């Protein structure tokens, strides 16, 4: 519901089966600035409320077919924040209590002068306005708490992602500086490889953070040129060769011959493809398979599909998979290095090129990312 007026410009729906009372009260309220619509029964009132919103309902208690309390109950289903005032010539303590229990703000006995009900209306509108402001503040507070949690999770993730490779680098560098490096020792050579892997890991993290930052606001400044998607894929596989070999992953390529060149930013698109392939490697099983296909589509676009035989993604997580710093079931995937940045970066780059990325996944069976870019 939109901001509820605290002035006399509020929209009021008046329901009363007595025509004279209805018309006299409507004229009196309109004379003071309120916008009033009138109906003679509960059914008409509900129909009006289905068509538009009102700030306040004034209803007679006893009307044919539907009482005022029944109308309030039904009206609240349509307009939960609606303020309701009951008027009646047949006042009893029991009916007053019943009306208030059904959510009426106040209860006025007929006959009454307009100057009696106007302050009640204004107090009701002010109460509603304050309730709405309170709800807005509650929502803002909740959002701030969520952002604070995201910030905390982000710092924890970034700290973990930086500290692990830094510890590896420091340990081996300290050992080598102590004069223990022996190029003929396989363990020492493996140590150098570990340093290189740690540096590459840090480099990718910084690259993704920088790319995500550059994509905010006005978006990416794309420096487009003619490039071949097969070259982008080949280069990304080359960069991931060590990880692919370590997990003994079988890579199956199905690239359509003579694909036309893409008009794209080679640096940015390389980052997107690298992140998608890195995700396929990272969450794949040992001895798993990655299938990469690229072909021309009927839409005169180039479609690329990257499939893995990894852990897959639950259906209820598909919507948030592209959110920065999100990994599926973080508690169980901490063994998989990563911040969850990669997919967010890949999506933003592909969309910056006017493309589209989609995901098909089955938990425990693997995932397939498909992106399409016009050539």
3-state secondary structure the chain: CCCCCCCCCCEEEEECCCHHHHHHHHHHHHHCCCEEEEECCHHHHHHHHHHCCCCEEEEECCCCCCCHHHHHHHHHHHCCCCEEEEEECCCCHHHHHHHHHCCCCEEEECCCCHHHHHHHHHHHHHHHHHHHHHHHHHHHHHHHHHHHHHHHHHHHHHHHHHHHHHHHHHHHHHHHHHHHCCCCCHHHHHHHHHHHHHHHHHHHHHHHHHHHHHCCCCCCCCCCEEECHHHHHHHHHHHCHHHHHHCCCEEEEEECCCCCCEEECHHHHHHHHHHHHHHHHHCCCCCCEEEEEEEECCCCEEEEEEEECCCCCCHHHCCCCCCCCCCCCHHHHCCCCCCCHHHHHHHHHHHHCCCEEEEEEECCCEEEEEEEEEC
| Cis bond before residue 204 (omega within 30° of 0) | no
Ordered strands of the 83-88 beta sheet:
35-39, 11-15, 56-60, 83-88, 106-109
Q: What count of other Cβ atoms lies within 10 Å of the Cβ of residue 183?
A: 7
Per-residue confidence (pLDDT) for residue 329, from 0 to 100: 47
What is the rounded CA–CA span in Å between residue 47 and residue 50? 5
> Do 348 and 265 meet the contact criterion of CB atoms below 8 Å apart?
no
Residues 6+ apart with CB under 8 A from 288: 247, 249, 250, 308, 309, 310, 366
Q: What is the pLDDT of residue 372?
A: 96
Tokens 């047949």 belong to residue: 90
pLDDT at 106: 79
* pLDDT tens track, the chain, 375 positions: 444 444 567 888 999 988 888 888 888 888 888 898 999 998 999 999 999 989 989 888 888 888 888 888 888 888 888 888 888 776 556 666 666 666 677 777 777 777 788 888 888 888 888 888 888 899 899 888 887 876 777 677 677 677 777 887 777 777 777 777 777 778 777 777 777 777 777 777 777 777 777 766 557 788 999 999 999 999 999 989 989 999 999 999 999 998 999 999 999 999 999 999 999 999 999 999 999 999 999 878 999 999 999 988 888 888 778 876 555 544 444 445 555 688 888 999 999 999 999 999 988 889 999 999 987
Q: Check: CB of residue 256 under 8 Å from CB of residue 294.
A: yes
| Cα gap 240→234, rounded to integer Å | 10
Residue 220 to residue 212: CA distance in whole angstroms: 9
Q: Who contacts 151 (Cβ-Cβ below 8 Å, separation ≥6)?
A: none
Rounded CA separation 307/245 (Å):
17
- At residue 108, the pLDDT reads 77
pLDDT at position 215, please? 66
- Give the whole-angstrom CA distance, residue 3 versus residue 81: 11
pLDDT for 93 equals: 62
CA pair distance 212, 116, nearest whole angstrom: 61
pLDDT at residue number 331: 42
State residue 110's pLDDT score: 75
- Residue 13 forms beta bridges with which residues? 37, 57
Q: What is the pLDDT of residue 87?
A: 83
The answer, as to whether pTM is greater than 0.75, is: no
* Residue 213 vs residues 156, 206, 210, 217: alpha-carbon distances, Å: 19, 10, 5, 9
Name the nearest CA neighbour of 352 among 319, 327, 323, 374.
374
**Cα–Cα distance, 343 to 329 (Å, whole number):** 15
């Amino acid at each position: 519901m939109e901001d509820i007026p605290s002035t006399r410009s509020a929209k009021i729906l008046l329901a009363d089966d007595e025509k004279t009372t209805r018309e006299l009260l409507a004229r009196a309220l309109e004379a003071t600035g309120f916008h009033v619509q009138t109906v003679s029964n509960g059914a008409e009132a509900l129909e009006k409320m289905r068509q538009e919103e009102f700030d306040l309902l004034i209803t007679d208690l006893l009307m044919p077919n539907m009482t005022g309390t029944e109308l309030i109950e039904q009206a609240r289903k349509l307009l939960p924040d609606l303020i309701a005032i009951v008027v009646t010539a047949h006042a009893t303590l029991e009916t007053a209590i019943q009306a208030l229990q059904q959510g009426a703000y106040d209860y006025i006995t007929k006959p009454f002068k307009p100057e009696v009900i106007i302050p009640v209306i204004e107090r009701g509108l002010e109460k509603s306005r304050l309730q709405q402001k309170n709800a807005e503040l509650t929502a803002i507070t909740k959002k701030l708490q969520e952002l604070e949690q995201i910030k905390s999770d982000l710092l924890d993730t970034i700290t973990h992602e930086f500290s692990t490779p830094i510890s590896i680098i420091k340990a081996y560098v300290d050992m080598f500086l102590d004069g223990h490096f022996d190029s003929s020792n396989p363990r020492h050579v493996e140590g150098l490889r570990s340093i290189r892997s740690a540096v590459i890991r840090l480099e990718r993290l910084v690259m993704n953070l920088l790319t995500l930052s550059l994509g905010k606001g006005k978006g990416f400044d794309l420096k487009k040129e003619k490039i071949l998607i097969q070259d982008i894929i080949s280069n990304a596989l080359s960069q991931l060769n060590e990880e692919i070999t370590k997990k003994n992953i079988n890579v199956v390529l199905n690239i359509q011959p003579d694909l036309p060149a893409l008009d794209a930013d080679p640096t940015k698109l390389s980052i997107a493809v690298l992140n998608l392939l890195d995700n396929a490697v990272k969450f794949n099983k040992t001895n798993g398979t990655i299938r990469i296909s690229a072909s021309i589509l009927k839409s005169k676009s180039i479609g690329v599909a990257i499939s893995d035989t990894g852990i897959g993604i639950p259906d209820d997580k598909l919507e948030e998979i592209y959110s920065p710093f999100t990994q599926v079931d973080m508690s169980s995937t901490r063994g998989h290095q990563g911040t969850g940045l990669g997919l967010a970066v890949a999506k933003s780059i592909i969309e910056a090129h006017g493309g589209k990325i989609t995901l098909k996944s089955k938990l425990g069976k693997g995932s397939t990312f498909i992106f399409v870019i016009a050539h």
